[in-house]
Each structure stands twice: as structure tokens, then as C-alpha cells.
Structure 1
Amino acid sequence: MNIGYAIPPERGSPSADLARNVHSFSRATTRPLVTAAKLPYIPLAPDSPESAPNNLMKIKENRTVSSSNNVHVVGPAASRAIVGPQGQHLVPCITAETAGTHRLSAGLVVMPPGTSSQVHHHSHSDIVVMCVQGWAASLIGPELEPRLHGPGEFIYIPAGVLHMAVNLSTTEELVAVESRTDPQFNEDVVVSPEFQAAGEAVAATLRAEFDGDAARAAQKERAAQLPPALAGFDVVGLAERAFVQ
């Protein structure tokens, strides 16, 4: 399986300067927002003549923009790291507690070299994970089918799907950004210890077969096929700078 990875830009390059600027900007805890009181009134095409009045009423009711007080910027340095019941080091950033969210959360997952999570599922939340540093395997379902993903790649796991996170490298840390439809970020984790021994066996095999040099070569090959504007985007550098105090 070919895995694509993003190439970090050289120091002093425009993309590296941009990444530094993005990081510096993101470290601010508050930023003033200019918020319009009303959205432009653009009626949608009704499904039927009979539904037109109801559709227009819904549009009018939702024209007011929320206050800028509801917008929050939260970085890892301002968040409290935890260890979840699935055995992962988590840094919840956007949650109901920190940002007042109702249906969504986001944070960082940090896995030391050669580690795996407990086999688990999220009972009522979908998750999306993007690796920003390191190489991962997600073992999916009771069969523990491996899905490999590296820097710049996203994986979506629906609610209720059994999975196990694996850091494929025995020398490098894995850092990922994760978004969940659980506003508490880690409230609905259900661990399945009966699958753990089989999962660890699969993880050990994958680590033995993992070739970091080949992964980096695949990353460069994949990046060479990207548009020039994306080929030098430094997702790894952004992750590293996020931990600078």
C-alpha cells in the first residue's frame, strides 16, 4: 500500500515563513471579530409551492449571526493533557468546557514510539483523524483490518466501529489532530479488552514490516504529484511548533 506524506519546507523558504506566521497567529488566545448583524436575505428555491412560506420563515429566523463571544481559539499550551481509558495521551482543545460546543470537539492525540491504544469504540460519536507527524495504522473491526495513514492524510471512523490506534514507528512520536462529534472529546469510549491480545499481535507484525525510509520516499513521491502551492505545506512543522511554550 502506498502512503502519501507531506514534505516539510526548507528553513527560510516562503512556506516555512508562512507556517511560522500561522503558528504565531494561532497562539493568540483572543482575536477581535467584525460580525455583521444580519446575513443577506437570499430565499432558497422551495421544494413545492405549499412549502414556500415555511421555507422563507426558517430563513428569516436564522438570519441573525451569533455573537463573536461564541468564537474561541484554544491551543495545546492552554489545554490540560489527559490519558483516556483507551490508553492514549490526549490534549482536548475545543470542547464544551473550553469553547461551549454542543455537537463537536477537537484536540491532539500523542503516541510515544512503539505504542498502541486499547481496542475500543466510540458509542455515539464519529471521529476524523489527521496525522501531522509520524505514521499510524488503525486496526478496524473485530477482524482488526489495518488501514495505514501518514502525515496529511485523514481517516474517518463512524460511531460504534471497533478500532485500535498503532504508532508504526519504534523511534518516532506520532502526533495527530482529531475531531469528534462528542462535545466532551472523550466521553463515550468503550474498551474491548477481549480483542487486545490479537490487536497487539497485528501491531507487532506491522511494526516489524514498517520501513521508515521507504515511508519517507513514498511521502516525497506523493508530494511531487501535488500542485506547487501544496507540495511544500509544512503540516509537520506546524505540529512541532504547536508544542513550543
Structure 2
Amino acid sequence: MADFSDWAIDGFQSRTLHFVPAPNSPQGVALNTILTALEVPDIPFSILAVLLPPGVQSRAHSHPGSTIVVCAFMGNAVTLVGDDMRAKPHRNDELVIVPAGVPHASVNLSLTEPVLGIELRTDPLGNADVLMLPELDELAGEVARRLREEFSTGPGPVLAHGLGLGQRVALPQQTSSPGTISMDDGASATLVG
């Protein structure tokens, strides 16, 4: 848990986050509390740092009353969602929203590099709203093995449009339309601003 004792001046607080590298949650991943209602009672959400060591996946679970917003900022992650454990690759600079009650599992595709991420949860206590779904663990494991195999040989059909942060991609090419970029694979996006 985070420690607010470093300093506090007029309500502004600073602290150091110490990362626990070992799985410490029912889901089987390392969750490090950054902020919950236990530290700041008037906030209706929590923020956690997540570490998935190389080759690790979480156990299948849901958060019946809480929505989770996930941003993986280092590594190659996939979230498996739904009763069929469909793969949702994490893309660069993307927030993945897991609605309350949706079954899911997190997967680190790499066997050599960790995944680090941040989660914002509507559970003000951090990880109090967890329902384990052991009946989906075998399926999640099969899907994770298949995705890791695909990842190790280069992005296939599932991963081709969801490259993780650790993968190298070509820089976008400017097109003739102002405010639009296109990638080598034909994908495009509109820039705002």
C-alpha cells in the first residue's frame, strides 16, 4: 500500500510507490495500491499499478459492481474478455475499459519482458470487488498459449491490429489529407488539434 507520510502541505501530498513484484492478489497478479478511499476517504475510485511478469496470465475473474479502465504502458498485453475469452490486444496509448460484471483475464504475451500498467477502478477500495471465475481458467489458459505462440512468431490475425508497446512498428506516413495519418498496414486515424 502507498504511504502518504513523505510530506503533506495544505492538502498536497507526495509519496513513493514501492512495487511488489510477486503476485499478491486473488487474480494472481501483482497489484500495487496507488490510491484508494482508505487514503483519501472522499474519492469514489481507486488507482492501482499492475505487474504481469513474463509469461504470466491472471486467473479469470470479474468485478460485479466496478468498471475498470486499464492502460498498459510497458510490455505486450492482451485482455481476454467475455465467457468465450475473446482477445482484446492493448495498443499504444489506448485505454481498455472493462465494464462491471464482464469476465476477463490479463495475459503477458512475452516470455522475457514484464507488462506494467495502471488501472483506474470504480471500486473505491481497490480490489475488494472481485469474483473469481475458475470455470473459465482452462479456456483462458488455452487462448493465452495460442496467443503467445502467435506472438513469438510475429503478429498473426488476432494480434496484427493490436501491437503492444514493446513491438516495433513503422512510423505513420503523412497523407495528402491534413489531419489524417495512415499506417503501412492501411489503418488510418484522424488527428485532433
Please report how far the alpha carbon of residue 159 of structure 1 lies from its aligned counterpart in structure 2 after TM superposition: 0.6
What per-residue deviation string (whole Å, max 9, x for no partner) do you get for residues 150-180 of structure 1?
4432100111010010001111001001110
Q: Tell me what 2:179 maps to.
A: none
Q: Structure 1 unaligned runs (5+)?
A: 1-27, 33-67, 226-245
The alignment status of 1:169 with 2:114, answered yes or no, reads: no
Partner of 2:83, secondary structure, is coil
Could you say which residue in structure 2 is the equivalent of 1:123?
Answer: 64
Alpha-carbon distance in structure 1 between the residues aligned to 2:76 and 2:94 = 10
Q: Distance in 2 between matches of 1:212 and 1:112?
A: 20
- Provide the C-alpha distance between the structure 1 equivalents of 2:23 and 2:146, rounded to a whole number of angstroms: 29
Match of 1:194 in 2: 135
Q: 2 CA distance for matches of 1:144 and 1:190?
A: 16
Give, as a single letter, the amino acid of the residue that structure 1 aligns with 2:168: A
Matching residue of 1:96: 37
Q: Which 5+ residue runs of structure 2 have no aligned equivalent?
A: 156-162, 175-193
Q: Give the superposition deviation at 1:82.
A: 6.7
CA distance in 2, matches of 1:154, 1:207: 22
Map 1:39-50; keep pairs closer than 5 Å. Answer: none
| Residues 10-159 of structure 1 mapped to structure 2, 5 A cutoff | 29-30=6-7, 32=9, 68-69=10-11, 71-77=12-18, 83-159=24-100
Structure with more relative contact order (C-alpha pairs < 8 Å, separation 6 or more): 1
Q: TM-score, normalising length from structure 1?
A: 0.58
Report the Cα distance in structure 2 between the residues aligned to 1:75 and 1:128, rounded to whole angstroms.
23
In 2 relative to 1, CA 202–78 (structure 1 residues): closer, same or farther, beyond 3 Å?
closer
- CA drift of 1:213 comes to 7.3
Match of 1:221 in 2: 171
Q: Quick check: which has more Rg, 1 or 2?
A: 1
Q: How many residues align?
A: 160
Among 174, 178, 181, the residue aligned to 2:119: 178
Q: For the Cα contact (< 8 Å) 1:80–1:91, is it kept in 2?
A: no
CA RMSD in angstroms comes to: 2.7
- Judge conservation of contact 2:76–2:110 (CA < 8 Å) in 1: yes
Higher-helix-fraction structure: 1
| TM-score (normalizing by structure 2) | 0.73
Partners in 1 of 2:91 and 2:82 — Cα distance?
A: 20
* Greater percentage in strand: 2
Residues 34, 49 of structure 2: 8 Å contact kept: yes
Residues 78 and 108 of structure 1, relative CA distance in 2, 3 Å threshold: closer
Cα gap change, 1:197 to 1:108, in 2 (>3 Å) = same
Q: Where do 1:197-216 residues align within 5 Å?
A: 197-211=138-152, 215=163, 216=167
